Chain A
């Protein structure tokens, strides 16, 4: 059992949820997603974001369009599909249940008795 392993599993579970929620607010360019995640103190490597986006795109959760940029070749801007949107909503529900449950559990004080005893 090592701590990095458990931490990375925790983080990995919410990664897709976070990315979808950023894209849901409006079309996003991958490096903007990274910026936003970092600003929220959620570390992600840009190199792991691309495969994740490609996977989500191949699963028809995301779609993208090319946008001409004023310098050089066009950029890929990602947006949510309908399928992605309902996927996101399910994730959101799960997240709320999870975070409420976990918060309720972890915020209990040590002198509180176990509920079943």
Chain B
């Protein structure tokens, strides 16, 4: 039994099997990634899409009831897969980009596309970027979900007095850009299909394979508890222990709200089906992720130690690199930066738009929360001021909590 859906491809309505559609979607997505630096990308994709539509339409008119997976497979083969393009364009890659050219000439043909990742070198990822592609580049380097790196950066920025921001700018300047075929696994998204506020809990639920209700409860529990406790506290004035508990839960709830806001800002929404599949991690072994998470929890201290050493090492590497850089590559790079700045006028506009969005969301979030707290304070009358205090207290300790967690 197969589910058949109707899609509109370049103005043609085509009945297609659900699985065939997923295949087509991921093919077009791979083209989009492949042509990311191409000037007329949208036009090329449009042309290819309408050609595919024409071919599928032909099949339907010849009497097929719907486009099958085999049909899509056949079309993809005749259009050519991304890795086939690569083989054909080896020469050009060599001219335009020495590094990748060297790489592909060293590789034998049976290497798959995903293995052509530029391992071992840190780039900014021009193919998957939120601001400048720094986080995504780091993620590709360490082979983790870019969202995780983005979250860490956001935390360092909020908790470390803008330190993350500074580091980001430096990396933005220093790292060369490249279209990386980064992390291919389960990714953290906001889930637009399962949302109450921003879809954060829904996305986390899909990522960790739990029900969204559980995640929401985890987020909401400290807040509810702190309110409950403050109510109890107000009924029974003699108990000092509850007050301590109250402050404890209050600060946790502040932390959780901050986490929520950060995730809301940082995580992209899973809009296409391809992204939704990534979100649910349908191509990845779930056990592997569970194992990774458990390992991460268990050897946390050891890992931190090892990581510290790695950072130190890379810092040393970096300083020697910097010397080399200022000596030989400096001029070439300066020219490149110049060019990038000139050619990326539009990119700069995008950055400003993103920053604006970030600030807007942050301010809107803060205002919304302030209103919410005000409402609570109003509901519980003059006696229940403690949640408000907790909020402020929570904001300050929030960052301390996060240092503890990460």
Contacts and interface: CB of A to CB of B under 8 A. Distances in A.
* Residue with the greatest number of chain A CB neighbours at <10 A, chosen from B35, B90, B92: B90
Given A46-B51, A46-B79, A54 B91 contact: no
B38 interface: yes
B51 A30 contact: yes
Nearest to B48: A50
Given A8-B90, A12-B92, A50 B44 contact: yes
Interface stretch (A68-76, A86-94, A107-115): A68-76
Given A2-B108, A5-B105, A73-B10, A46 B39 contact: no
Contacts of A9: 90-91
Interface in B74-102: 78-81, 84-85, 87-92
Given A4-B109, A8-B88, A12-B88, A47 B79 contact: yes
Contacts of B78: 45-46
B241 to A, nearest CB: 70
A55 interface: yes
Nearest to B45: A50
A60 to B, nearest CB: 13
A51 interface: yes
A46 B80 contact: yes
Interface in B20-48: 31, 35, 38-40, 43-44, 47-48
Contact of B12 (A5, A46, A57, A72): A72
A48 interface: yes
B72 interface: no
A58 interface: yes
Given A5-B105, A12-B88, A54-B47, A45 B79 contact: yes
B31 A47 contact: yes
A20 to B, nearest CB: 18
A50 B41 CA distance: 10
A31 interface: yes
A45 B48 contact: no
B10 A12 contact: no
Contact of B40 (A4, A30, A54, A73): A54
Given A5-B105, A47-B80, A54-B40, A72 B91 contact: no
Interface in A35-49: 45-48
A44 B79 CA distance: 9
A10 to B, nearest CB: 9
Contacts of A73: 10-12, 50, 53
A50 B47 contact: yes
B54 interface: yes
A71 B61 CA distance: 10
A51 B11 contact: no
Contact of A58 (B11, B39, B80, B91): B39
A54 B48 CA distance: 11
Contacts of B90: 4-5, 8-9
A75 B53 CA distance: 12
Given A72-B54, A73-B50, A8 B91 contact: yes
B57 interface: yes
A64 B151 CA distance: 47
Contacts of A54: 38, 40, 43-44, 47
Nearest to A5: B90
Nearest to A58: B40
B88 A71 contact: no
A92 B44 CA distance: 27
Contacts of A30: 47, 51
B47 A45 contact: no
B51 A48 contact: no
Contacts of B31: 47
20 contacts: A2-B109, A4-B109, A5-B105, A8-B88, A12-B88, A31-B51, A46-B51, A46-B80, A48-B84, A51-B38, A53-B47, A54-B40, A71-B61, A72-B11, A72-B12, A72-B54, A72-B57, A73-B50, A73-B53, A76-B47
Q: Which 4 A-B pairs have the closest CB atoms?
A: A45-B80, A47-B80, A47-B79, A54-B40
Given A11-B88, A48-B80, 14 more contacts: A4-B109, A8-B90, A9-B91, A45-B79, A47-B48, A47-B84, A51-B40, A51-B44, A54-B40, A54-B43, A54-B47, A71-B61, A72-B54, A73-B11
Interface of A: 2, 4-5, 8-9, 11-12, 30-31, 45-48, 50-51, 53-55, 57-58, 71-73, 75-76
